[in-house]
Amino acid sequence: MTEPLDLQRPSLAYHHSKGSGPTVVFLCGYASDMNGTKALALEAWARARGQAFLRFDYAGCGASQGEFEDQTLPLWRDDALRIIEMLVEGPVVLVGSSMGGWIMLMVAKARPDRVVGMVGVAAAPDFTDWGFTQAQKLELLQHGRIEERSDYSEQPTITTRAFWSSGEANRMMIGPIAFDGPVRLLQGQRDKEVPWERAARLAELIRSDTVQTILIKDGDHRLSREGDITLLLRAVEDVLAACSSPSS
């Protein structure tokens, strides 16, 4: 059942399925929510095998409290940290979709003792740097916000100057990323949002030797087709298996 958390931040909506660990935690993309195809497919898979699983909405998104335009990247990272610390015991495997892949890296940096594996799906770390034109950046600085037509919703996508600035201050791909656990990165080569070369660069920067990049030639940004979901579930299973192996 979706329940609010009693936190200093706005109350967060979540679904927590108990089971064996590590707990798989799904991190949504920008302006998305926990009821997307990938999150629900992972939950069904986790329940079928008795795996602990957690999905939730960041503040200002989905069923959680708060105003969307008041949020920043570090605040959403803190939402993830708080909900993990409140609900989860033991290690976690993070699955980050789009912007969730950025938050995934930030959470792993903040809690290296808890995060044992990661799966990125069209991961978009540092997108405030490369995902906006100079004209858009100028408009953000001058007017404080921009609105763009969304390919995924009837509502426009809003970006605030506060969010953009917080992203620029928290870039992860400016040097080596100190993570040594298993990582899988799924990336569509027809992704209009995230250039597929970004996945290869991210794999290069992550310190771990157990990083694999899976390129889907006809894959788009969503990676929500049946075949894409199959690849995602296999990637999560691979990471969990690697986490439990004696050499991990």
| Residues assigned a catalytic role | 98, 191, 221
> Whose structure tokens read 């740097």?
129
Query: How would you write the chain as a 3-class SS string?
Result: CCCCCCCCCCCCCEEEECCEEEEEEEECCCCCCCCCHHHHHHHHHHHHHCEEEEEECCCCCCCCCCCHHHCCHHHHHHHHHHHHHHHCCCCEEEEEECHHHHHHHHHHHHCCCCEEEEEEECCCCCHHHHCCCHHHHHHHHHHCEEEECCCCCCCCEEEEHHHHHHHHCCCCCCCCECCCCCEEEEEECCCCCCCCHHHHHHHHHECCCCEEEEEECCCCCCCCCHHHHHHHHHHHHHHHHHHHCCCC
Q: Cβ(36)–Cβ(224) under 8 Å?
A: yes
- Tokens at residue 189, please? 């080569």
CA distance 110 to 107: 5
Q: Which residues, other chains included, contact 8 with Cβ-Cβ below 8 Å and sequence gap of 6+?
A: none
Amino acid identity at 211: V
